[in-house]
């Protein structure tokens, strides 16, 4: 007797992809070599473009000479207090993000969540993912930021609240827009449905491109009582 809620022939496509990805043999996501369990082999792990925190702006995670605040953040500080990024959004880190978002390799999200949890100091009090609009969520079948945040919550033992922050309307990808258009694109796109009561919020996303979406989310979270806000991303685009 089948234990699946659907006959195999009518399983939703995203579920088929997810099940297939999770049942693949243990091989390196990037080069295909046998790893015996880990997502990446040691060689590929060492090739990831790590962003050293001591040479990044602590506010937006862009490179600076000695880890000082960058000029943009000094001129107009974002609504979040700090940003943490594991890698530059370039090869081969971009392939890891692509495997999660477009190949439905959800094991990647748990792995990213545990990696980010190791770097997160202070740990915060509640985890919120960057929300997807319902149309995009229906199309993809899952929120990649939510899956990463869920992995972080398991590692850290923190509350995970995926429904507190909402995207009220679809927005164009920020990378397609000119700098002056980006804030207008996301202005009013997000809403919060609860009182955060001064809590330290950790906002989680897969990639930070311009920071405009995260900044708008943080603005809304401030209006609903957030204390400190830490933005945590797997990868940071250095050119946009």
- The CATH number of the domain where 221 resides is what? 3.40.50
Q: Please give the Cα distance from 83 to 212 (Å, whole number).
A: 13
Confirm whether 220 is domain-assigned. yes
CB atoms within 10 A of CB 211: 25
Confirm whether 217 is domain-assigned. yes
Confirm whether 1 is domain-assigned. no
Confirm whether 14 is domain-assigned. no
- Tokens standing for 87? 């890698």
Per-residue confidence (pLDDT) for residue 181, from 0 to 100:
86
Residue 215, domain extent: 53-236
- The CA-CA-CA angle for residues 33, 207, 71, to 5°, reads 130
Host H or E run for residue 166: strand 165-167
Q: Please give the Cα distance from 222 to 226 (Å, whole number).
A: 5
Per-residue confidence (pLDDT) for residue 2, from 0 to 100:
38
Q: Is the peptide bond before 92 cis (omega within 30 degrees of 0)?
A: yes
> What is the domain count for the chain?
1
**Any idea which of 75-79, 119-123, 130-134 has the lowest mean pLDDT?**
119-123
Helices (H), the chain: 13-22, 42-46, 71-75, 93-103, 107-119, 134-140, 144-156, 179-186, 212-223
Confirm whether 6 is domain-assigned. no
Confirm whether 225 is domain-assigned. yes
Under DSSP, is residue 26 helix (H, G, I), strand (E, B) or coil?
coil
Per-residue confidence (pLDDT) for residue 7, from 0 to 100:
44
Per-residue CA distances from 63 to 48, 51, 212 (Å): 16, 8, 18
Confirm whether 13 is domain-assigned. no
Residues 73-88 have a mean pLDDT of: 96
pTM given for the model: 0.86
Confirm whether 189 is domain-assigned. yes
Residues 66-82 have a mean pLDDT of: 95
pLDDT in tens, 150-169: 999 999 999 999 999 999 98
Q: Please give the Cα distance from 213 to 187 (Å, whole number).
A: 9
């Amino acid at each position: 007797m089948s234990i699946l809620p659907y006959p195999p022939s009518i399983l939703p496509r995203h579920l088929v992809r997810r099940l297939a990805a999770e049942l693949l043999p243990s091989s390196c996501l990037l080069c295909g070599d046998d790893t015996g369990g880990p997502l990446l082999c040691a060689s590929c792990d060492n090739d990831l473009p790590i962003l050293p925190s001591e040479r990044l702006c602590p506010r937006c995670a862009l490179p600076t000479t000695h880890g000082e605040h960058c000029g943009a953040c000094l001129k107009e500080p974002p609504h979040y207090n700090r940003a943490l990024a594991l890698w530059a959004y370039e090869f081969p880190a971009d392939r890891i993000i692509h495997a999660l978002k477009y190949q439905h390799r959800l094991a990647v999200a748990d792995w990213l969540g545990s990696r980010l949890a190791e770097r997160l100091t202070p740990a915060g009090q509640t985890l919120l993912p960057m929300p997807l609009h319902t149309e995009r969520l229906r199309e993809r079948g899952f929120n990649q930021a939510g899956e990463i945040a869920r992995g972080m919550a398991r590692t850290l033992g923190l509350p995970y609240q995926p429904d507190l922050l909402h995207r009220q309307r679809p927005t164009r990808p920020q990378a397609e827009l000119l700098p002056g258009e980006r804030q207008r694109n996301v202005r009013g796109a997000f809403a919060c449905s609860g009182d955060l009561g001064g809590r330290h919020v950790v906002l989680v996303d897969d990639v930070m491109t311009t920071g405009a979406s995260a900044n708008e989310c943080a603005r809304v979270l401030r209006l609903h009582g957030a204390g400190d806000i830490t933005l945590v991303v797997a990868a940071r685009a250095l050119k946009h």
